Chain A
């Protein structure tokens, strides 16, 4: 049953990671910014939820309030960091370094303001479990799967069928024409940052409920997420989400034959294998 348990654990972590990956992909394909500070928003969300819980709020309040706060943070990043850099015609490398700098600031601020050590939620999500065919799942894990799949479905639907979603895809497809047809690319970028930041806040909290919080874990999460974005085909939400799950499941199964220290190495091995088979990504557009 260890095999099945590892498979299910991989599925749970993979779903959470999938949300990180497809929200990152949304930002990257629209703004062309390699927004590594996304990992900072992910981490911050868990800590904000932790503080709300400490203040006596039920977890559901955090789950609703924190994404809104993170959406605001995303807009602030866009307006105070990325927009001014774009106006000064900064190169992609400069923007990447600025984003890395912001990530470092957020992580260090969290370590100072909260704690550099692991923090756990007191909530019951972790201890309430159900057993299904020999596999044990706690409520946080179940919520992670259900909510992640729902967010993926909702985002996919929104980008295909709503006015804002079409506008986001239009700006991603041809920002020059978007400016000439009153689609307001700059406003659209801020909207995408708000949406992606709200999305990434959710796994930030759910994974925290299950495994606790550490200031620097977001970096590895984002690393695996970007691998999934590239291997899944840049611009494809489905590719990012599915490849996240596949990579994480394979990573977990590798624990059967290899010690855990190798898991990042395994991730890259899988990445290379993907890229050899489909160099432009699994779901790359024609």
Chain B
């Protein structure tokens, strides 16, 4: 069964329609990269799935449950999480406080959940900097923290909006490797929105390319490389 299923979804802002008929499916343990040029509607799609923006038409199904009428918090309770673009941490709190506050609201303490100790195991640098104000860290460290916050409590479905923006290539590789690992170990499904097409193609199982709010290509990375899709970027 699909983990996340988006069927005929329409969404937009005011009288501006951005998505008119979006259909997507994400399986457990899979990384699906959603690519496309700036303004294609990728962020809008993630916001609509997360519940920040209402779906004007169509259905969103998460692990068999229809969620398009649910609040953001209700969708999260079902295991859906969004790592938002560029705003993924609480800058005025220390690193440890960031993790504490999110863990308290999202971890249920069961053995298989991803907790603070696991975060420090993955990113030792965050343990070193645990007392530091999060907003004062480097961009790469902030993004490691943002990703840690997004996976605390092990969501079933993780959506990431341009997690690589502003990061050095070795850090991007590291974070993506980690995401890949979580998919395998926890059967987490990942919907990855990226501008960094090359990096996304490396970890994605499947690729969807959007243009002006519509899907213009769907297939495996090697198929995307073979097909002439580069003009969409």
Enumerate chain A interface residues (CB-CB to B < 8 A).
163, 166-167, 169-170, 172-174, 176-184, 235, 285-286
Enumerate chain B interface residues (CB-CB to A < 8 A).
50, 52, 72-73, 76-77, 81-82, 84, 87-93, 97-98, 100-102, 104-106, 133, 136, 149
Please tell me if the beta carbons of B84 and A176 are within 8 angstroms of each other in the complex.
yes
Please tell me if the beta carbons of A180 and B91 are within 8 angstroms of each other in the complex.
no
Please tell me if the beta carbons of B90 and A174 are within 8 angstroms of each other in the complex.
yes
| A173 touches which of B50, B88, B92 (Cβ 8 Å) | B92
Can you list 15 A-B pairs, Cβ within 8 angstroms, ordered by A?
Answer: A166-B93, A166-B97, A166-B100, A166-B101, A169-B93, A170-B98, A170-B101, A177-B84, A180-B72, A181-B106, A181-B149, A182-B76, A182-B105, A183-B101, A235-B92
Please tell me if the beta carbons of B73 and A184 are within 8 angstroms of each other in the complex.
yes
Q: Knowing A180-B72, A180-B84, A181-B106, say if A174 contacts B89 (CB, 8 Å).
A: yes
A184 CA / B72 CA spacing, docked (Å): 10
Please tell me if the beta carbons of B93 and A181 are within 8 angstroms of each other in the complex.
no
Please tell me if the beta carbons of A170 and B106 are within 8 angstroms of each other in the complex.
no
Looking at A167, A170, A183, the one whose CB has the most chain B CB atoms below 10 A away is: A170
A174 CA / B135 CA spacing, docked (Å): 11
Q: Knowing A163-B101, A180-B76, say if A173 contacts B91 (CB, 8 Å).
A: yes
Closest 6 pairs (CB-CB, A-B): A173-B92, A173-B90, A182-B105, A166-B101, A170-B90, A170-B101
Q: Knowing A166-B93, A170-B93, A174-B87, say if A180 contacts B106 (CB, 8 Å).
A: no
List 13 other contacts, CB 8 Å, given A177-B90, A182-B77.
Answer: A163-B101, A166-B93, A173-B91, A173-B92, A177-B87, A178-B90, A179-B52, A179-B72, A181-B81, A181-B106, A182-B105, A183-B101, A286-B136
A166 CA / B102 CA spacing, docked (Å): 10
A85 CA / B89 CA spacing, docked (Å): 27
Residues of B within 8 A of A178 (CB): 90
Q: Knowing A173-B91, A174-B91, say if A181 contacts B84 (CB, 8 Å).
A: no
Looking at B76, B87, B89, B97, the one whose CB has the most chain A CB atoms below 10 A away is: B97
Distance to closest chain B CB from A237 (angstroms):
13
Please tell me if the beta carbons of A167 and B101 are within 8 angstroms of each other in the complex.
yes
Distance to closest chain A CB from B37 (angstroms):
25
Residues of B within 8 A of A179 (CB): 52, 72-73
| B104 touches which of A163, A174, A180, A286 (Cβ 8 Å) | A163
A170 CA / B100 CA spacing, docked (Å): 10
Q: Knowing A172-B92, A174-B87, A286-B136, say if A180 contacts B50 (CB, 8 Å).
A: yes
Residues of B within 8 A of A180 (CB): 50, 52, 72, 76, 81-82, 84
A183 CA / B87 CA spacing, docked (Å): 15
Residues of A within 8 A of B73 (CB): 179, 182, 184
A173 CA / B135 CA spacing, docked (Å): 10
Distance to closest chain A CB from B149 (angstroms):
6
Residues of B within 8 A of A184 (CB): 73
Please name the residue on chain A nearest to B76 by beta carbon. A182
Residues of A within 8 A of B91 (CB): 173-174
A172 CA / B90 CA spacing, docked (Å): 9
Please tell me if the beta carbons of B102 and A181 are within 8 angstroms of each other in the complex.
yes
Residues of A within 8 A of B81 (CB): 180-181
Residues of B within 8 A of A166 (CB): 93, 97, 100-101, 104
Residues of B within 8 A of A177 (CB): 84, 87-90, 149
Distance to closest chain A CB from B50 (angstroms):
7
Residues of B within 8 A of A167 (CB): 101, 104-105
Residues of A within 8 A of B133 (CB): 286
A235 CA / B92 CA spacing, docked (Å): 10
A179 CA / B198 CA spacing, docked (Å): 32
Distance to closest chain A CB from B220 (angstroms):
30
Please tell me if the beta carbons of A173 and B82 are within 8 angstroms of each other in the complex.
no
Residues of B within 8 A of A169 (CB): 90, 92-93, 97
